[in-house]
Amino acid sequence: METLVLTWVLLLMFSFAASDTNSTSETYTLIKATNFARPNCQSKCGDLVVPYPFGIGINSGCSIGPGFDVYCNTSSDPPRASLESISYASIKQISDSTLRISNTVSTRCYFPDGNIQSAVNFSPYFNNTPYTISEVNKLTVIGCNEYAWVTSKMKPTGCLVICYEQEDDIGDDCSGNACCQSSIPEPINYYVTQFYALQESNFSNNGSQTLNPCTYAFVGDVEAFKFNGTTDLKDTSLDKKIEANVPIVLDWAIGDLSCSEAEAINGTACQSNSMCVNSKRETGGYRCKCNEGYEGNPYLSPGCQDIDECKDKLQFPCHGTCVNIPGNYTCKCKQGYSGDAKIKDGCSRKIPILQLTLGLGLGFPAILIGLWVLYFTAKKRKLVKLREKFFEKNGGVLLQDKLKTKGGVGIGSMRIFQVEELEAATENFAENRILGKGGNGIVYKGTLPDKSVVAIKKSQRLDEGQRVQFINELVILTQINHQNIVQLLGCCLETDIPLLVYEFISNDTLNRHIHNQTSGLERLSWNNRLRIAHESASALAYLHTDTRMSIIHRDVKSTNILLDDNYTTKIADFGASRLVPLGHDQVTTLVQGTLGYLDPEYFHTGQLTDKSDVYSFGVVLAELLTGKKPINIDRCLDDRNLATYFVNAMKENQLLEILEHQIVIEATDEQIKGTCDLACRCLNIASERRPSMKEVTMDLESLRKFGKHPWDCQDMKYNKMSSLMIEVEDVDLYTAPFITNSDTFGGYSSSSIGRSNRTL
């Protein structure tokens, strides 16, 4: 009896599992019945079955309308079927909802010197046809260090392929390592393929001289494509191989009426035993579909016919007595046996009544327990499934793969956290755990079971395209290893919004140390300020030049410079940062940054360079020198911006008035002159005249060496200052637009301004 319950429970579980998988895979059926085509019409072109509403012959009257005319070229061997509107592609298969046609691969090939040798940018267009590009297709990119994406009416979707040093690292899974995939989030009727090389050429990358000079990108049926690692990567005729094997899946629909509209006009849209299905595409249209258990052509009389399941033991197994009924069949165990005859050995001899009652007495509670267990397992499974989905959506698989293949610095110490761990660490993301809110997300303070304190950042919502980018950036961020940059400890990808775990920096932000002295924080001495400036500069210089890819922070400001217990500087918040491939010195992006710190040139042109960080750093220097906030409405209009105010004061030789009093006392002449001059150069309106972060670091380092001479007399200082002459370049400073709403500039709150219509 117990085994019976167990089988039953297992059976139920199996059916749960089965329904799970069904919902994810594409379900389509080939039209099987004999009435494929209209009477007196050909039903096949070579091996291809052409069911009505498609018809062979242009204007032959065999199809439902012009978009469905199939041209069958019998002169080619084997005969080639194509649509009039899509003549370049041959039809591979027609199902009751889809059409599979031959593909064209977009390619970009490079000469060894990095110049483009040849390019194919396939951009199909199915406007005004019955066809849309199905969501079951995915964009697949194969190559090295290139970003490829497709744009359409939807948001761009794309992915990045990276090749690491060792060829053996390239696995067979298409997850970013030489091969990447990105979904097409909705049905579209055209797309444009584009490439963006991350490095000069495939050849110059990490000495991988033997790799393919081409990058390949295509939108196609993922089921038909299997990535073969290095073999595929090296194959210079890979495009031909893909074109021969991987079709592009089109959804088709009739006309532009919905089912109810078509029924209202024509009486019926579909023949008997079938149902009408509205198309998902924007322009409308419908399809017909045989009911469950029926087959045939739902568009042609007499419609769909009942399937005699008992005649097809292979598809409809029955190990007992089979009886066909309309739309279904029954299959019973032979007399004297019970169980499920649809499975092999599913029938067993009936249990006598006495044993049955006894069995039920014992078995019933067991069944209840079984059901109860089942209910909770199913519920848990659903949650686990959802998490797995998020994990996958957020690029977890890609990341895990990279963690596996790339055992480099930093990345080895990176952890993938479980959502439960982080929920427990933050008491379910409680309000009182919030450390700060910014343009890029909310930061919570968390305590891990080992009592270590971490900062957990809940990022902004990401769209599909950004997710892949997010992971690739994450991988690079994990490789950052600098004592003045907040260390990323790990991440959690099981939630809809990815979570990042950073080391916790205990001693507040530089912003508060400068501007919030009322809150009991000790005033930062000049030496500390100069050291913090030097440490921040060296961290930014490291990001700009020392990492595998140049990283532009994009949001340098005193709130993003944290201090630990020893007042060591830690640069934080890479939420907005941008990777710039080496060899490219600028990228066009959505303008992003914080008012008061934003590089005016970048704001005007949208061209992001590492010099934008230099400008923002200049504002931080001015803050350190003057103790004033980057934007202050109490100053007169032209001087509200600290950058303008500072440079103007220097021009008019009135620095003494704006520098923080205590600094004038503490610092040496050389230090004041040198630091002010440096800030002024960083704040130059023309980015190419600003120093690089490396130069800034070196300047600050030598300024730190100009320590205060012990014999300096404080009284002399004031006299000296009046004679302190600083050369100022005559520049027309840009004043950032002033926004009067409730933007705050203190503490953790930040205001980021963005301008749309400037995307990559």
Ligand X SMILES: *[C@@H]1O[C@H](CO)[C@@H](O)[C@H](O)[C@H]1NC(C)=O
Binding residues vs ligand X (CB under 6 A)? 73, 75-76
- 45 or 174: CB nearest ligand X: 45
Rounded to 5 degrees, what angle do the CA atoms 237, 241, 242 make?
A: 115
The minimum distance between CB 58 and ligand X, in angstroms, equals 10
- 79 or 114: CB nearest ligand X: 79
The minimum distance between CB 54 and ligand X, in angstroms, equals 18
- Write down the number of H helices and E strands in the chain: 18, 39
φ, ψ for residue 579, nearest 5 deg: -90, 135
Distance CA 175, CA 396 (A): 10
| Of the candidates 316, 341, 348, 274, the residue with the CA atom closest to the CA atom of residue 96 | 274
- 104 or 684: CB nearest ligand X: 104
Specify whether the CB–CB gap between 270 and 253 falls below 8 A: no
The minimum distance between CB 76 and ligand X, in angstroms, equals 3
- 244 or 264: CB nearest ligand X: 244
* 205 contact partners, CB below 8 Å, separation of at least 6: 144, 145, 163, 199, 211
Q: Tell me the two tokens of residue 376.
A: 């909770």
- 62 or 184: CB nearest ligand X: 62
Specify whether the CB–CB gap between 581 and 587 falls below 8 A: no
φ, ψ for residue 754, nearest 5 deg: -135, 150
The minimum distance between CB 47 and ligand X, in angstroms, equals 16
The minimum distance between CB 37 and ligand X, in angstroms, equals 21
- 69 or 309: CB nearest ligand X: 69
- 73 or 117: CB nearest ligand X: 73
> Could you write out the DSSP letters of every residue in 303-352?
--EE--GGG-TTTS--SSEEEEETTEEEEEPPTTEEE-TTSTT-EEEPPP
Is 555 marked active-site?
yes
| Total count of residues recorded for the chain | 760
Q: Sort 184 into a burial class: Cβ within 10 Å, 0-12 / 13-18 / 19+.
A: buried
Sort strands 587-588 and 607-608 into parallel, antiparallel or unpaired. antiparallel
Sign of CA dihedral 131, 133, 137, 140: positive
The minimum distance between CB 255 and ligand X, in angstroms, equals 28
Distance CA 156, CA 760 (A): 10
Sign of CA dihedral 700, 702, 704, 706: negative
Sheet holding 69-73, edge to edge: 55-56, 69-73, 80-83
Distance CA 436, CA 443 (A): 5
The minimum distance between CB 79 and ligand X, in angstroms, equals 9
> Could you write out the DSSP letters of every residue in 377-406?
HHHHHHHHHHHHHHHHHTTHHHHHHHHHH-
Specify whether the CB–CB gap between 105 and 122 falls below 8 A: yes
Specify whether the CB–CB gap between 250 and 280 falls below 8 A: no
The three-state secondary structure class of 252 is strand
Q: Sort 293 into a burial class: Cβ within 10 Å, 0-12 / 13-18 / 19+.
A: middle
The minimum distance between CB 106 and ligand X, in angstroms, equals 24
The minimum distance between CB 46 and ligand X, in angstroms, equals 12
- 73 or 258: CB nearest ligand X: 73
The minimum distance between CB 90 and ligand X, in angstroms, equals 11
Specify whether the CB–CB gap between 395 and 467 falls below 8 A: yes
Catalytic residue among 306, 401, 555, 610: 555
- 73 or 525: CB nearest ligand X: 73
- 90 or 215: CB nearest ligand X: 90
Residue number, nearest CB to ligand X:
76
- 75 or 266: CB nearest ligand X: 75
DSSP letter assigned to residue 59: T
The minimum distance between CB 83 and ligand X, in angstroms, equals 12
* 641 contact partners, CB below 8 Å, separation of at least 6: 596, 630, 631, 735, 736
The minimum distance between CB 71 and ligand X, in angstroms, equals 7
Amino acid at 631: I
- 76 or 166: CB nearest ligand X: 76
The dihedral formed by the CA atoms of 740, 746, 750 and 754, expressed in degrees to the nearest 10: 40
- Residues taking part in catalysis: 555
